[in-house]
Amino acid sequence: MMTRRLILIEGVPGSGKSTVAQMVSEILKGQGKKVQLFQEGNLDHPADYEGVAFYDAGDFEVLLKKHEEYREVLESNATAYGDGFLIPYRKMREQWGIELPDHIVQDIRYLRNFF
């Protein structure tokens, strides 16, 4: 059985959180542990929901119809999740370089559902 551990490091800006996190990561790796370090702002962070929208299937279709010219881009980058779709709009723009106009991103952000 695999045991997972989560270590969170919090503090005020400039207090050394990143430095401590890096040191903890290196110590654990030195002990032979498998470590994944996610710094704030990392778009691959497994709990980063700031840049991800959830649409149920019906609302997703409404979004696609409203922005028909971006249907293929939205469909190809959305991930099926339960009865709907996750749209990683922040990652699409910042990491993958997909050109999404601001008005579409605004629609995705403000018309989204939360799960």
pLDDT in tens, 82-114: 888 989 888 888 878 888 899 898 888 876 554
pLDDT score for 58: 92
Is 23 a residue whose pLDDT tops 90?
A: yes
SS3 state of residue 56: strand
pLDDT confidence of residue 57: 92
On the question of pLDDT at 25 being above 90, the answer is yes
Taking the mean position of all CA atoms in its chain, how far away is CA 111?
17
What does the pLDDT average to over 67-86?
A: 92
Residues 99 and 36: their CA atoms lie apart, in Å, by: 30
> Which residue type occupies 13?
P
Q: Residue 93's closest CA among 63, 53, 65, 59?
A: 53
For the record, the structure tokens of 45 come out as: 């962070």
Full-prediction pTM beyond 0.75? no
